[in-house]
Amino acid sequence: MRILAVDPGLTRCGVGVVDLGQGRRVSFVDVFVVHTPPSAALSDRLFALHTAIDEAIERHAPKRIALERVFAQHNLRTVMGTAQASGVVLALAGARGLPVALHTPSEVKAAVSGNGRANKAQVASAVRQILKLDDSSLLADATDALALAVCSAWREVSGQSPENAGSGATPGSGLTPAQQLWRDAERHTPRPRRPA
């Protein structure tokens, strides 16, 4: 199974692609970082992200998208940019009917390094070891995207579907109460037709 993961951001957006093989074997496919200048108009920046990620989805044909879950920070501008970039990814996945798995940063760190509070260097080292990469010059956004892809792949092995990936699930359902309400609302909401 091929997984495309996005570490969302407006200035730097990491995109990593891995293949999940037998057991927990994960192999490297591609990684890149999309840069957009802070001085550019927001619409231009989002369109640049849309174009780059859409091309990556077209080129790699993933079966699943992994996305870092937006979490609260003190910097409202950073949170807004991350949320806007996430919206682009979610829309692209929705247009193609691809399932999306959302993972928290601590969940990703714990999956690849065994420590939910690992620093960037520890995560990067773990990713290089797991994927057998020699390149120590990868940007943090690139290694974060690959870590996210590995985490999502291993969640797949453990039997968690994209809609119930994440922490805080209620026993039996795999979903938090908020996720259950959201899922139920989505099931009862008519979806717009996709253009042919």
* The overall pTM is greater than 0.85: no
Q: Single out the catalytic residue among 44, 55, 134, 141.
A: 141
The number of distinct structural domains making up the chain is 1
Catalytic, 141? Answer yes
179 domain residue, yes or no: no
Whether the Cβ atoms of residue 32 and residue 49 lie closer than 8 Å to each other? no
Catalytic, 184? Answer no
Does pLDDT of 169 surpass 80?
no
Structural domain including 11 reads: 2-166
Structure confidence by residue, pLDDT tens digits, 71-81: 766 778 888 99
Q: Single out the catalytic residue among 44, 54, 68, 135.
A: 68
Whether the Cβ atoms of residue 148 and residue 68 lie closer than 8 Å to each other? yes
191 domain residue, yes or no: no
Q: Single out the catalytic residue among 7, 107, 144, 156.
A: 7
97 domain residue, yes or no: yes
Q: Kindly report the CATH number assigned to the domain that includes residue 135.
A: 3.30.420.10
160 domain residue, yes or no: yes
Does pLDDT of 184 surpass 80?
no
Structure confidence by residue, pLDDT tens digits, 86-139: 999 999 999 999 999 999 999 999 999 999 999 999 999 999 999 999 877 788
Catalytic, 107? Answer no
